Chains A and B, each alone.
Chain A
Amino acid sequence: MTSTETSGTGGAARRLSPEQIRGARFTSGSMLHPGYDQSEVDRFRDLVAAEVGSLVGERDDLRRQVAELQQRLSGTAVPEPPSEQAVKILASAQQTADEYVAEAEDFSRQMTAEARDQYEEQLRLARENAGAIMQAAQEAAARLALPGGGDGDTTAGQRTTAELEEQVAFLKAFAQACRAQLRAYLEALLSDVETEWGRVDPALAPEALAAAQAGRRPGGTAAPQTAFHGNSAAGPAEVQAEEAERTATAGARATGG
Chain B
Amino acid sequence: MDIAAMRASFAKAAATGDEAPLYFYSHLFLSHPETRAMFPVSMAHQRDRFFHALGEVVSRVDDLDALVPILKQLGHDHRKFGTLPAHYPAVMPSLLATLEHFDDEWDEHRARTWTEAYELVAAVMIQGAEESADQPATWRAEVVAHERRAIDVAVLQVRPEVPVNYLPGQSMSLEIDRRPRLWRYYSPANAPRDDGTLELHVKARPGGPVSTALVRSTEVGDLMRLGPPLGELTLADDSDRDLLLVAGGMGLAPLKALVDQVARQGPARRVDLFVGARTEDHLYDRAAIAELQAAHPWLTVTCAVSDDALSGLEHGDIGDVVLRHGPWLSREVFVAGPVPMVEATVGGLLAHGVPRERVRSEVFAPSRPGPSAEGKVTE
Contact = CB atoms under 8 A, between A and B. Distances in A.
Interface of A: 79, 81-82, 86-88, 90-91, 94-95, 97-98, 101-102, 105-106, 108-110, 112-113, 116, 119-120, 123, 127-128, 131, 183, 186-187, 190-191, 193-194, 197-198, 200-202, 204-206, 209-210, 212-213, 216
Interface string B184-220: 0000000000000000000010110100110011000
A143 B217 CA distance: 52
Contact of B44 (A81, A98, A119): A98
B41 A90 contact: no
Interface stretch (B24-32, B65-73, B162-170, B231-239): B24-32
B180 A202 contact: yes
B42 A102 contact: yes
Contacts of B223: none
B213 A94 contact: no
A206 B37 contact: yes
Given A81-B97, A105-B207, A87 B41 contact: no
A209 B212 contact: no
Given A108-B206, A116-B151, A193-B207, 9 more contacts: A81-B27, A82-B30, A91-B23, A94-B25, A105-B207, A108-B207, A202-B40, A209-B29, A209-B33
Nearest to B182: A202
Given A90-B30, A197-B213, A200-B41, A131 B36 contact: no
A86 B41 contact: no
Nearest to A94: B43
B373 interface: no
A123 B204 CA distance: 19
Nearest to A200: B41
Nearest to B207: A109
B307 to A, nearest CB: 9
Contacts of A86: 26, 30
Given A97-B42, A98-B43, A205 B36 contact: yes
24 contacts: A79-B31, A81-B93, A87-B27, A91-B22, A91-B23, A91-B26, A95-B22, A97-B41, A97-B42, A102-B42, A106-B207, A108-B207, A109-B207, A113-B206, A116-B151, A119-B151, A127-B310, A128-B310, A197-B212, A201-B41, A205-B41, A206-B33, A212-B30, A216-B30
A204 B44 CA distance: 17
B181 interface: yes
A105 B209 contact: yes
A83 B36 CA distance: 18
Given A94-B25, A101-B42, A127-B310, A191 B31 contact: no
Main SS at interface, chain A: helix
A98 B310 contact: no
A81 B41 contact: no
Given A102-B42, A194-B217, A131 B30 contact: no
A189 B206 CA distance: 12
B338 to A, nearest CB: 15
A193 B211 CA distance: 13
B212 A213 contact: no
Contacts of B179: 197
A74 B181 CA distance: 33
B178 interface: yes
A191 B204 CA distance: 12
B152 interface: yes
B178 to A, nearest CB: 7
A101 to B, nearest CB: 4
Contacts of B181: 202
Interface string B28-66: 011101001100111110000000000000000000000
B180 to A, nearest CB: 6
Given A81-B31, A190-B212, A94 B207 contact: no
B25 to A, nearest CB: 7
A183 B152 CA distance: 11
